[in-house]
Amino acid sequence: MAWLADSVALWHGGEAMRTPSDLAPELQVSRWLNTDHPLTLAGLRGRVVVIEAFQMLCAGCVHHGIPQAQRIAAHFSPAEVVVLGLHSVFEHHDVMTPAALQVFIDESRLTFPIAIDAPNGLGLPLTMQAYSMQGTPTLVLIGRDGRVHRQLFGSASDIAVGAEIGRLIAEPD
């Protein structure tokens, strides 16, 4: 198991942003897309939650984070793992509108629910602040117990992410 901890630590230069002792802050959302009802982390308790924080104009998000989230959603049972996108706009506010995001979602054929992070004027959006995110892409893994188990800025290998999700599925809630 030490190899897994080492490989997870290497997801982003050896930095894990949070530890399993942190209860996941509730998402602060201005609007939901790709779902017919609002979702809450409290309502998803008992399942592993994968949050992919992204911006549609972020190259790392478009080329790595979002496709990885799609693969996770396709390969894990929704009864065990829920994938959520979190569109967190902290720059280029005037072009990243909900209408533009909807076109991006449709063109990219994204299937998982996507929350639009509640804005905070021209500062960091509210959920991004609550999770102390450094930027996008950011991957957050929340265990069935509702606690943040990993939060990583940048990219992580599918193998390391899949192993970590598998470990979280196996843990009791």
Q: For the chain, what are the domain ranges?
A: 2-170
Which value, in Å, is the radius of gyration of the alpha carbons in the chain? 15
Class of domain 2-170: alpha beta
**3-class SS of residue 124:** coil
With beta carbons less than 8 A apart as the criterion, state whether 126 and 118 touch: yes
Share of the chain above pLDDT 70, in %: 83
Determine if residue 24 is left, alpha or beta; phi over 0 gives left, psi from -120 to 50 gives alpha, anything else beta.
beta
Q: What is the pLDDT of residue 14?
A: 39
Q: What is the DSSP letter of 43?
A: G
Kindly state the average pLDDT of the residues 42-64: 95
**Which of residues 4 and 150 earns the better pLDDT score?**
150
pLDDT tens digits, 71-98: 999 999 999 999 999 999 876 656 678 8
